[in-house]
């Protein structure tokens, strides 16, 4: 089997159900394994079957899938606005769920109900949920514990004074470059850096970083820190993220199809990125968060995790525990190239979008997406 590159480690077989190791079936040159720099046609093809190119763990669907109910359609002008956004943004699927009723669902012609699509940083909110589960299980004592309590290999690094909470809110004060267009950025180099023998790949890279601000004083978005959060959860629970996610997300949320979660060169699931789900299962994750994750996370976890620990842009939005926060009590998961799951509690609403923006980030398309979700919510909130 081909090996090498981001997430394509050759690992020993894993037989334990309901999670199994998968290896890539198609070899791509090392130079082409930097996902950030694929052209639009390549992204459009590969985002729907990342498991063919990268190693990962596949999680079985729930024994009892959650069933959404059919619902009335949205007002014509709102449906037209969604269709226009899909055309403009390159979205391949959008689903709107209100009161557990599917009010709108549309997919591109080659994106069917069983097709999975990569998440990018939507995975961060999954890792956050597993953090909450580990706290509920007593595996993690407190968000205010030092990171080094759970990742001793970081002792002696800039992470010595940093807490789990500061990693969860990306306020560690550690210097980081998340520029998706720069091949020398930290986010581009992190998973291309081989791990030191016996060390986690992300730890190998994060140990090289420097401090730019006191812990807790500055927000800087860092995918590497969500990878660390995943390592914290794995070390605390003694389980792979994907394995833990079966018990804490896939089964209780009622996923109907298998989930794929990429691994790095040290065999860890990549906490900050790269799981793949069907459109319906992204919506099921949103519904699970909307309903509070009873019995899985501490009471009130999603209200706390989805609240602005960090306020940005004059309080218009912010960042919680690996969730973006919006006006009102809305919050959501976001990934580059247009992936998102938005939860609007006051409207009992979930909007899941998977897509292929022309660029990794776009202020214009992000604004239009926010406006679209607000328009959808306004159309159903007073029903």
What mean pLDDT is predicted for residues 28-53?
89
Distances (CA, A) of 178 to 143, 181, 225, 280, 289: 24, 9, 11, 30, 27
* Total length of the chain: 383
- DSSP letter at 195? P
8: pLDDT strictly greater than 90: no
- Is 45's pLDDT higher than 80? yes
The per-residue pLDDT of the chain, averaged, comes to 93
How is residue 176 written in tokens? 């980081």
Supply the pTM of this predicted model.
0.94
Domains of the chain: 19-71+76-380 (3.40.710.10)
Q: What is the pLDDT of residues 201-245, one digit of tens each?
A: 999 999 999 999 999 999 999 999 999 999 999 999 999 999 999
DSSP 32-79: G--GGG--HHHHHHHTT-GGGTS-EEEEPPPSS---PEE-PPPPHHHH
Measured between alpha carbons, how far is 342 from 375 in angstroms, rounded to an integer? Answer: 13
Q: Does residue 278 sit in helix, strand or coil?
A: coil
């Amino acid at each position: 089997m081909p090996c090498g590159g981001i997430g394509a480690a050759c690992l020993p077989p894993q037989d334990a159900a309901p999670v199994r190791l998968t290896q890539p079936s198609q070899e791509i040159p090392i130079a082409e394994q930097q996902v950030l720099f694929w052209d639009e046609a390549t992204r459009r093809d590969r985002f729907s079957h990342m498991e063919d190119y990268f190693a990962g763990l596949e999680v079985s669907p729930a024994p009892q899938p959650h069933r959404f109910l059919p619902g009335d359609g949205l007002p014509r002008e709102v449906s037209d606005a969604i269709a226009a956004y899909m055309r403009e943004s390159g979205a391949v699927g959008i689903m709107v769920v209100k009161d557990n009723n599917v009010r709108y669902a549309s997919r591109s012609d080659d994106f069917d109900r069983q097709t999975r699509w990569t998440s990018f940083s939507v995975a961060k909110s999954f890792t956050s949920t597993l953090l909450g589960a580990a706290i509920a299980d007593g595996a993690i004592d407190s968000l205010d514990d030092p990171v080094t309590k759970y990742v001793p290999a970081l002792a002696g690094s800039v992470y010595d004074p940093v807490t789990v909470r500061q990693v969860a809110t990306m306020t560690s004060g550690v210097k980081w470059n998340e520029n998706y267009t720069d091949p020398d950025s930290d986010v581009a180099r992190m998973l291309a850096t081989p791990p030191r023998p016996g060390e986690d790949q992300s730890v190998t890279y994060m140990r090289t970083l420097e401090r730019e601000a006191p812990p807790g004083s500055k927000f800087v978005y860092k995918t590497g820190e969500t990878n660390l959060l995943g390592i914290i959860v794995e070390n605390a629970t003694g389980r792979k993220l994907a394995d833990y996610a079966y018990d804490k997300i896939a089964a209780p949320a009622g996923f109907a199809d298998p989930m794929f979660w990429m691994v790095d060169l040290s065999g860890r699931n990549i906490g900050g990125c790269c799981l793949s789900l069907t459109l319906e299962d992204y919506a099921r994750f949103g519904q699970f968060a909307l309903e509070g994750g009873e019995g899985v996370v501490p009471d009130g976890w999603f209200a706390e995790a989805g609240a602005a620990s960090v306020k940005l842009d004059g309080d218009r939005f912010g960042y919680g525990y690996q969730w973006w926060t919006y006006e009102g009590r809305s919050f959501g998961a976001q990934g580059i190239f247009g992936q998102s799951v938005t939860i609007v509690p006051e409207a009992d609403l979930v909007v899941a979008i998977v897509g292929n923006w022309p660029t990794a980030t776009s202020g214009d398309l992000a604004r239009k997406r926010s406006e679209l979700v607000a328009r959808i919510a306004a159309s159903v909130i007073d029903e």
